[in-house]
Chain A
Amino acid sequence: MSQLTEKEILDTEPTHHSEHIVSPKVYGLIFASLLCLTALTVAASYVDLYAFNVIVALAIACLKAVLVILFFMHVKYSSRLTKLTVAAGFFTFFVLITMAMTDYISRAWGMW
Chain B
Amino acid sequence: MDSQAIATHPDQAHAEHEHSPYLRHHFANLEQQKETSTFGMWLFLLTEIMFFGGLFCAYLIYRNWYYPAFVAGSHQLSIGLGAFNTAVLICSSFTMAMGVHAAEMRWRKPLIGWLLATIFLGCVFLGVKAIEYNEKWEKHHVPGLNFSAAGFTKQDPKYPEDRPLAPDMAEKTQVYFSLYFAMTGMHALHMVIGVSILVILVFRAWAGAYTQGHMTTVENFGLYWHFVDIVWIFLFPLLYLISRHQ
Contacts and interface: CB of A to CB of B under 8 A. Distances in A.
Interface of A: 9-11, 13-14, 16, 18-19, 21-22, 24, 27-28, 30-31, 34-35, 38-39, 41-42, 45-46, 48-50, 53-54, 57-58, 60-61, 64-65, 68-69, 71-73, 78-79, 81-82, 85-86, 88-90, 92-93, 96-97, 100-101, 104
Contacts of A96: 50, 53-54, 57
Interface stretch (B18-26, B141-149, B235-243): B235-243
Given A45-B79, A53-B244, A58-B242, A38 B86 contact: yes
A35 B226 contact: no
Interface of B: 2-3, 5-7, 31-32, 34-35, 38-39, 42-43, 45-46, 49-50, 53-54, 56-57, 60-61, 64, 79, 83, 86-87, 90-91, 93-94, 96-98, 101, 104-105, 222-223, 226-227, 229-230, 233-234, 236-238, 240-242, 244-245
A96 B60 CA distance: 11
A53 B54 CA distance: 24
B64 A64 contact: no
A54 B242 contact: yes
Contacts of B93: 31, 34, 68, 72
Given A9-B3, A13-B2, A96-B50, A42 B42 contact: no
